[in-house]
Amino acid sequence: MLNLSKGIALVITLVLVGIPAALSEINRASFPQGFVFGTASAAFQYEGAVKEDGRKPTIWDTFSHSGFIFDGSNADVAVDQYHRYVEDIQLMKDMGMDAYRFSIAWSRIFPNGSGEINQAGVDHYNDLINALIAQGIEPYVTLYHWDLPQALQDKYIGWLDPQIIKDFSVYAETCFEKFGDRVKHWITFNEPHNFAIQGYYSGFEAPGRCSSILCNAGNSSSEPYIVAHNVLLSHATVADIYRKNYKDKQNGLIGISLDVKWYEPETNATGDIEAAQRAQDFQLGWFLDPLMFGDYPSSMKSRVGSRLPNFTDSESVLLKGSLDFLGINHYTTYYARQNATNSIVDLLNDCVTDAAAYAIQDIALFNISAAFKDGQPIGDRANSIWLYIVPSGMRSLMQYIKEKYGNPLVFITENGMDDPNSIFIPIEDALKDEKRIKYHTDYLTNLLAAIVEDGCNVKGYFAWSLLDNWEWVAGYTSRFGLYFVDYNDNLKRYPKDSVSWFKKFLAST
């Protein structure tokens, strides 16, 4: 339960003077008892050791060597957590973190995606999990954080073939068998919306498929929907396996993590309000509607038409309610506006059938947001070109999920901001990350208001990220970490000022 005296004082402050005046007052004790604080990571961004102990290549190994990474880097070493996890766990312990969200690399367990189990990979994750628990840090495990074994991509084009459902299910069940006695929170997929769009619509991320000249193969008009469909059925199948065979004896929960921007209508005009809802339908609703209601949003079905796969009755039953909790990765907020291109969407539905025209239609559906209004940004920008700092979006998003989806159990599985990595910024200056401290303070304050004032069922918060790391196509140009990693000196870890802030925040009771 909420620490009563501090909780009441906070609520009174929020009501009387508004959220900003209460910013300096929040700490761990402000949140309900048992609320989980942790940091998050991904195997490919952290581990390195890409050719060690039986691991074989993934689609991101291939893509990271393809020339599409901003700084020409790759993740062959990353931040070397494969060898330094004991050190990194101590960093979490020193901050007072309760949990660590990490992902298992599929190709460490099944180097070929299926077939023979690699015991060395199993041993590594057993050691990591045991080391976390020994320090009182609870493991939250993601089964798939974008690193599909390359062998399955070569065998049947990975997520585009229904065969992936069976292979993912075998992999997931193996993880339940090997680690489920200690892992009580399983996340099947991280950001399927992101990898469906970036991997199969724009081609900007692995496996780099699209219809444009940027890609060697792909179909932007259909493949994102096929991938998402197979991901959803994979999740539902795995959740069913877990609930039938493991949940009762292991006493764990299974969920999924979805990437979600908040969208504010640019104006009160009907078109902008509808655009904001459509943006959510094609982002959050694309995945959460099937998991909650058994089918895609009606706006997707009507606009995408036959390119959107259908669920059978039995698949809808399998999907509906197939998560014990919802992970939300939230970083930023955009304006939504009625895109002029949308005026031709209905016409395209009626009379155009070729892939190029469908891709034009989807641009209208996906790109109906902007970070600027009347020449002014929606908020201060972090280093990433897409990340604008709008803390109120956290509260609005939690309210939306509560109202539309029946107030499910939610964990904020990622939230954070990045600074630039520049040779012109001395380490001592890079450690002074006041902007990050304000970011977490403001977003946590809005999250607390959603819990205390709005009754949103949120039970945890994971900061992205523990360490500076390899940030996908941004390579090493972006620093999201609470700890600075010196890429020029044996990957030494240095605490930024945000570490001290979190340590103080979490020490309060």
The question of whether 47 is a catalytic residue gets the answer no
Of 250, 185, 246, the residue nearest 413 (C-alpha): 185
pLDDT for position 366: 55
Query: pLDDT grade, residue 466 (50/70/90)?
Result: very high
Query: pLDDT grade, residue 509 (50/70/90)?
Result: confident
Over residues 298-306, mean pLDDT: 96
Catalytic residue among 47, 205, 315, 414: 414
- Positive or negative, the CA dihedral 461, 466, 468, 473 is negative
Over residues 187-199, mean pLDDT: 98
Of 200, 161, 185, 314, the residue nearest 256 (C-alpha): 185
pLDDT for position 345: 43
Catalytic residue among 47, 138, 191, 223: 191
Architecture category of domain 28-506 in CATH? Alpha-Beta Barrel (3.20)
Does position 6 have pLDDT exceeding 50, yes or no?
A: no
Question: In a 10 Å sphere around its CB, with 0-12 CB exposed, 13-18 middle and 19+ buried, how is residue 18 labelled?
Answer: exposed
Mean pLDDT of the chain: 92
Over residues 159-179, mean pLDDT: 99
Residue spans of the domains in the chain: they are: 28-506
Of 415, 117, 90, 364, the residue nearest 259 (C-alpha): 415
Entry pTM: 0.93
Q: For residues 377 and 371, what is the distance between their CA atoms, to the nearest angstrom?
A: 6
The question of whether 414 is a catalytic residue gets the answer yes
- Give the Cβ contact number of residue 138 at 10 Å: 19
Helix (H) or strand (E) holding 232: helix 223-245
Q: Where are the beta strands (DSSP E) in 267-387?
A: 325-329, 333-336, 369-370, 372-373, 376-377, 380-381
Does position 349 have pLDDT exceeding 70, yes or no?
A: no
Over residues 26-38, mean pLDDT: 97
Query: pLDDT grade, residue 383 (50/70/90)?
Result: very high
Range among 186-190, 339-343, 360-364 with highest mean pLDDT value: 186-190
pLDDT for position 347: 43
Query: pLDDT grade, residue 339 (50/70/90)?
Result: confident
